[in-house]
Amino acid sequence: MARAHGNTAPGGPGARDLTRGPILKTLLLFSLPTLVGNILQSLNGSINAIWVGRLLGDSALAATANANVVMFLVFAAVFGFGMAATVKVGQSFGAGDVDAARRTFGTAVGFCVGLAVLVASVGWMSAPALLGLMSTPPDIYAFALAYLRVIFVALPATMISVMVSMGLRGAGDAKTSLYFMIVSVVLDCGLNPVFIAGLGPIPAFGIAGSALATATSSYVSMIVLVIYAYARNLPLRLRGPELGYLVPRMDELRYIVTKGLPMGAQMLIVSGAGIVMLGLVNREGSVTSAAYGASLQVWTYLQMPAMAISAALSAMAAQSIGAGLVDRLGRITRAGLILNCAVTGAMTALLLGFDRPVLVLFLGSTSPAVDMARHIQLLASWSYILFGMTIMLFGTMRAGGVVLAPLLVIAVAMFPVRLGFYHLTYPALGADALWLAFPVGSLAAIVMATVAYLQPGWKRKATAIASSRRIETEAAAECSAEGKPG
């Protein structure tokens, strides 16, 4: 099948051929919409937290935190399934096989819609038990229950939007989902105070109003996104017989589940390690806990560039594998490493140079935790450069279908290495053992990831995938030329 001219991939408006043009520039431009989207999501959460805290008080704000722990576990799985779909869609677009991309996308969406409806139904009924398992304090239990149940109602729309955006990224389109994320964020932030406190004929829903604002914005954004996809004939829209692709095919579903679960498990391991570290920090007293909490707020933004670049890198590498350009993978990885070191390195330098005014935003100018937070930043912030380098290597390997090695590396770095360093050095270093455990764990991760990346096995696997894609595409093209079904 002939490849599209320029940077337009086959499949209609919005699809972009990531196998052509200068790699570094293409990767930078392709990752920017994802980065902006990540920042918007974090700002959305922060603004909503401000509304809840200001209008309903500390107990309501604590209730949202308890409910959000549950939702994170759900979205970890969705992220894994979405990344698996992104990789396979990217491979299909790289091979010029739009129909195969739509088959994968249809299975991913159909599976996640069914999963979302099931989880939302079970979640609504089991919300009291879930909050009980987390030992939710009695004074915030009622708030948390009302909030969590409405958030479960929003789950199907949110999961569909995530799946569509990740599928589009595999097709080389990172901008469309950003536009509709902006719509969702603006609606959510604007509706929060209206639904919480009431306005005119709209009654005050209290804490449930915050969740209702999220649900409303999610469904509106999802519906408008679907309408737009069909109006603009975006590459992954399903029409006529293609709607049958929404019924999951076993071969597609097997790939999405077997590759998606380890990717989601990586997020759960990172989250679990974070919970353990938080417990260790809390032992050091309230000032240290406050300083660490402010540092976490800063680190949320510090890790965003690497996450965005890695996601874009995976899509670019997947398209290159589908196109049979396996020799291009090394250059894509190098471009990702350069971008990560430049962007994350610059942000880390700026943070350390202007750390006081940034930390004062979270702690206040007179807080004794400010100096402690600055000390934490100095010892631990630069570990995110190493973290970014690790996920760049994982991004390329993931595009070739390798998911277990990254999972093992993350698990070893987060638990035996990081926690082992803490326990061994705490008698001598005190609380500094906590902060130094971050770069030690990250250093171990990049060493192990480099060893895994240099192994020839995953590259042979990528070559085999490229050959398989080429054969499938040629066979489909022959059937099409002869007028037979592919």
- pLDDT, tens digit, for every residue of 193-249? 999 988 888 888 888 888 899 899 999 999 999 899 899 988 888 988 999 999 989
Mean per-residue pLDDT for 143-163?
85
Mean per-residue pLDDT for 331-341?
95
Residues 68 and 140 occupy one common structural domain: yes
| Helical (H) or strand (E) element with 285 | none
Q: Whole-angstrom Cα distance, residue 386 to residue 50? A: 32
Cβ–Cβ < 8 Å for 193, 210: no
Residues 390 and 269 occupy one common structural domain: yes
Residues 239 and 284 occupy one common structural domain: no
Residues 289 and 330 occupy one common structural domain: yes
Q: Pick the last residue of a domain from 248, 271, 301.
A: 248
Q: Whole-angstrom Cα distance, residue 332 to residue 344? A: 18
Rounded to two decimals, the pTM is: 0.83
What residues make up the domain containing 401? Answer: 263-463
Asked which of 142-151, 250-259, 389-398 is least confident by mean pLDDT, the reply is 142-151
Residues 366 and 398 occupy one common structural domain: yes
Q: Is 430 exposed, middle or buried (0-12, 13-18, 19+ CB in 10 A)?
A: exposed
What angle in degrees, to the nearest 10, is found between the helix axes of 23-56 and 175-197?
0
Structural domain includes residue 11: no
Residues 111 and 195 occupy one common structural domain: yes
pLDDT at 7 over 70: no
Q: How many domains does the chain have?
A: 2
Residues 420 and 396 occupy one common structural domain: yes
pLDDT in tens, 187-202: 999 999 999 988 888 8
Give the angle 82-86-90 at the CA atoms, nearest 5°.
Answer: 170
C-alpha 290, offset from chain centre: 26
Structural domain includes residue 21: no
Structural domain includes residue 98: yes
Residues 416 and 323 occupy one common structural domain: yes
Terminal-to-terminal C-alpha distance of the chain: 14
Higher pLDDT, 452 or 368: 452
Q: Whole-angstrom Cα distance, residue 16 to residue 34? A: 15
Q: Whole-angstrom Cα distance, residue 30 to residue 312? A: 6
Could you tell me the pLDDT band of residue 355, with boundaries at 50, 70 and 90? confident
At 301, the amino acid letter reads: Y
| Placement of tokens 């935190």 in the chain | 65
DSSP, residue by residue, 363-395: H-TT-THHHHHHHHHHHHTTHHHHHHHHHHHHH
Residues 123 and 194 occupy one common structural domain: yes
Structural domain includes residue 485: no
Of 74, 82, 140, 152, which Cα lies nearest the Cα of 111?
82
Mean per-residue pLDDT for 266-291?
82
Mean per-residue pLDDT for 310-314?
92
pLDDT at position 3 is: 44
Q: What is the DSSP letter of 199?
A: B
Higher pLDDT, 207 or 186: 186
Could you tell me the pLDDT band of residue 60, with boundaries at 50, 70 and 90? confident
pLDDT at 5 over 50: no
Residues 274 and 237 occupy one common structural domain: no
Residues 305 and 163 occupy one common structural domain: no
Q: Whole-angstrom Cα distance, residue 124 to residue 130? A: 10
Of 291, 120, 146, which Cα lies nearest the Cα of 207?
146
What is the chain's mean pLDDT, rounded? Answer: 84
pLDDT at 350 over 60: yes
What per-residue string of b and e applies to 279-315 under the rule 16 or more CB within 10 Å gives b?
ebbeeeeebbbbbbebbebbbeebbbbbbbbbbbbbb
pLDDT at position 205 is: 86
Residues 204 and 126 occupy one common structural domain: yes
Structural domain includes residue 76: yes
pLDDT in tens, 448-484: 999 999 988 888 888 887 777 666 655 555 555 555 5
